[in-house]
Amino acid sequence: MAGATILVLNGPNLNLLGVREPATYGRETLADIEEACLEHAAELGLSLDFRQSNHEGQLIDWIQEARENADGIILNAGAYTHTSIAILDALKAAELPVIEVHLSNIYRREAFRHTSYVSGAANGIICGFGGHGYVLALAAMARLIAAATDHD
Ligand code: CA2
């Protein structure tokens, strides 16, 4: 597992974190979350590739590239979670462990947020813990990769 690279992908509008709607998404910025992830990844011996895009096609290109460049994907697809069969297909084609993350508890929110296409390709889902959910996802990913390596 040492040296494994985790791609952490963030979808549309997550660049606004900490700047708008603090009542829903908190005051933590995406840069704060990246910093916490970098710290935790170093403790776990993982390399991190942390990215954000507002564009569905860009997210799909990065997921496709991950097949060659990464060992696991942590994804907060933002609103594309609830709409994008294309992201689901890309995740399935990547054949990597996937952890879905949401800052908010999507099951306590509007009904349209209760459906996630991403979940169809995810090993597990973490939602409702704000930015700390990304750190929890890294710990879970380290265990998934270690378990897969043990069986090789
Ligand atoms: O809870 C999450 O992490 C979400 O993925 C966030 C998405 C939302 O569409 C999902 O249902 C749940 C929205 C991200 C938008 O982030 C903003 C941050 C600050 C201000 C405005 C939007």
pLDDT tens, N- to C-terminus, the chain (152 residues)? 568 999 999 999 999 999 888 888 889 999 999 999 999 999 999 999 999 999 999 999 999 999 999 999 999 999 999 999 999 999 999 999 999 999 999 999 999 999 999 999 999 999 999 999 999 999 999 999 999 987 66
- CA pair distance 126, 136, nearest whole angstrom: 8
Q: Considering only CA atoms, which of 149, 105, 152 is closest in space to residue 128? A: 105
**pLDDT of 1:** 58
The response to whether residue 106 sits with its C-beta less than 6 Å from ligand 1 reads yes
List phi, psi (to 5°) of 3: 85, 0
**pLDDT of 149:** 87
**pLDDT of 3:** 86
Q: Are 119 and 125 a contacting pair, CB within 8 Å? A: yes
Q: Are 137 and 103 a contacting pair, CB within 8 Å? A: no
Please, what is the end-to-end C-alpha distance for the chain in angstroms?
A: 11
Distance 16 CA to ligand 1 centre (A): 9
* 25, 80, 117, 134: the active-site residue: 25
Q: Are 8 and 50 a contacting pair, CB within 8 Å? A: yes
Distance 3 CA to ligand 1 centre (A): 31
Closest approach atom of ligand 1 to CA 14: 16
The response to whether residue 88 sits with its C-beta less than 6 Å from ligand 1 reads no
Protein residue whose Cα sits closest to atom 13 of ligand 1: 78
**pLDDT of 65:** 98
Catalytic residue at 82?
no
The response to whether residue 133 sits with its C-beta less than 6 Å from ligand 1 reads no
SS3 at position 25: helix
